[in-house]
């Protein structure tokens, strides 16, 4: 169980029970196709260079707690209806028991819909949003990470959709990345970026996704964005879950790096051609957390 809050001085605090550490892993081949025939013995997990004993291994379609973090700034308006439809397609491709909430952001970030598994409810909330104002991406992400602490499921992910660079947040990119590293939520970013500010925006979205164990996508149009979103939905249903009890007994709140290796995969000539996507570390228990 994990709890997250922000104190009045904007210091990020985290309370976490890490008796069991879980790592969610997507595995693809050199043509970016998912690999679904791996067994427990095909994985090795290292924490701070020390191999861990994997006690939990799952490769099954389990429910996910999802957050849709959606740009509602004025610039999104020409593509809003089609992006809303793409976001709904993403939800529909998930597990029927998934729960989903929506955070919209423009000049401010707000929770537009609490957790629900009702597609009509999500559809109505998306349709009711009227684009205006600027782009507060980091505030929205932090709000979503905070709200995710009320989730029903331990497997959690955020899909962040935007068409621009943050220009209105109270929080900074570094604060958003730090919050992401501490939250244990995979963040998948979809950036429909223009040339104006595109490089800066792209860098920030990549850094956020990598810090979380998610991925960043940069489609050139809405149709391509929909394809990427549907791929994320499929990836979430295809993940391997590796669980272990850390051998490190320290309770000083320090960062612990995680590395996953794939070995002797059946039917595959070279594991070097396999790509594993996962969260590369977490903050341990104790310290000032």
- Domain segments of the chain as ranges: 2-7+16-59+239-283, 65-237
Model pTM?
0.91
Please state, in angstroms and rounded to a whole number, the distance separating the CA atoms of residues 149 and 44.
29
Determine the average pLDDT of the residues in 252-270: 87
Q: Give the per-residue pLDDT at 16.
A: 44
Please state, in angstroms and rounded to a whole number, the distance separating the CA atoms of residues 52 and 109.
40
The band of 10, judged by pLDDT with boundaries at 50, 70 and 90, is very low
Determine the average pLDDT of the residues in 49-76: 97
The band of 11, judged by pLDDT with boundaries at 50, 70 and 90, is very low
- Residue owning tokens 């070279």: 270
Q: Maximum Cα–Cα distance for the chain, whole Å?
A: 55
Q: Give the per-residue pLDDT at 289.
A: 44
- Which residues partner with 22 through β-bridges? 243
Determine the average pLDDT of the residues in 245-260: 96
Please state, in angstroms and rounded to a whole number, the distance separating the CA atoms of residues 188 and 29.
20
pLDDT digits (tens, 9 = 90+) for 22-33: 999 999 999 999
Q: Give the per-residue pLDDT at 195.
A: 67
Please state, in angstroms and rounded to a whole number, the distance separating the CA atoms of residues 32 and 55.
28
Q: Are 246 and 21 in contact (CB under 8 A)?
A: yes
- Comparison of pLDDT for 31 and 142, the residue scoring more: 142
Determine the average pLDDT of the residues in 87-104: 97
- Residue owning tokens 């990345």: 177
The structure tokens listed for 284 are 């341990």
Please state, in angstroms and rounded to a whole number, the distance separating the CA atoms of residues 122 and 102.
8
65-237 domain in CATH 3.40.50.410? Answer: yes
List of residues 6+ apart from 48 with CB closer than 8 A: 248, 256, 257
pLDDT for 3 beyond 60: no
Q: Give the per-residue pLDDT at 9.
A: 45
Q: Give the per-residue pLDDT at 271.
A: 76
Q: Which helix (H) or strand (E) holds 24?
A: strand 21-28
The structure tokens listed for 131 are 């684009």
Listed ranges 57-71, 188-202, 254-268; the one with the highest mean pLDDT: 57-71
Question: Mapping DSSP to helix (H, G, I), strand (E, B) and coil, where does residue 78 land?
Answer: helix
Q: Are 261 and 274 in contact (CB under 8 A)?
A: no
What is the average pLDDT score of the chain?
91
Q: How many CA atoms lie within 13 A of 137 on its CB side?
A: 26
Q: How many CA atoms lie within 13 A of 35 on its CB side?
A: 24
Question: Mapping DSSP to helix (H, G, I), strand (E, B) and coil, where does residue 122 land?
Answer: helix
End-to-end CA separation in angstroms for the chain: 14
Question: Mapping DSSP to helix (H, G, I), strand (E, B) and coil, where does residue 32 land?
Answer: coil
Nearest residue to 38 (alpha-carbon basis) of 54, 22, 16: 54
């Amino acid at each position: 169980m994990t709890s997250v809050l922000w104190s009045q001085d904007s210091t990020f605090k985290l309370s976490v029970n890490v008796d069991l550490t879980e790592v969610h892993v997507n595995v693809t081949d050199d043509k970016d196709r998912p690999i679904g025939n791996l067994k427990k013995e095909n994985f090795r997990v290292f924490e701070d260079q020390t191999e861990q004993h994997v006690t939990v291994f799952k490769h099954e379609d389990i429910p996910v707690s999802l957050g849709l973090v959606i740009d509602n700034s004025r610039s999104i308006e020409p593509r809003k209806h089609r992006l809303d439809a793409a976001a709904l397609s993403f939800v529909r491709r998930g597990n029927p028991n998934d729960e989903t909430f929506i955070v919209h952001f423009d000049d401010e970030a707000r929770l537009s819909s609490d957790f629900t598994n009702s597609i009509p409810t999500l559809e109505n909330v998306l349709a009711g949003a009227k684009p205006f104002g600027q782009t507060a991406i980091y505030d929205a992400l932090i709000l979503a990470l905070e709200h995710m602490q009320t989730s029903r499921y331990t497997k959690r992910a955020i899909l962040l959709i935007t068409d621009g660079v943050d220009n209105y947040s109270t929080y900074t990119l570094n604060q958003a990345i730090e919050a992401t590293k501490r939250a244990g939520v995979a963040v998948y970013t979809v950036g429909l970026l223009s040339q104006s500010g595109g490089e800066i925006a792209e860098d920030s979205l990549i850094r956020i996704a990598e810090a979380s164990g998610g991925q960043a996508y940069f489609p050139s149009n809405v149709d391509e964005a929909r394809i990427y979103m549907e791929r994320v939905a499929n990836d979430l249903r295809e993940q391997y879950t590796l669980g272990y009890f850390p051998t490190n007994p320290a309770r000083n709140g320090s960062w612990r790096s995680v590395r996953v290796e794939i070995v002797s995969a059946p039917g595959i000539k070279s594991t070097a051609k396999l790509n594993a996507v996962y969260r590369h570390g977490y903050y341990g228990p104790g310290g000032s957390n």
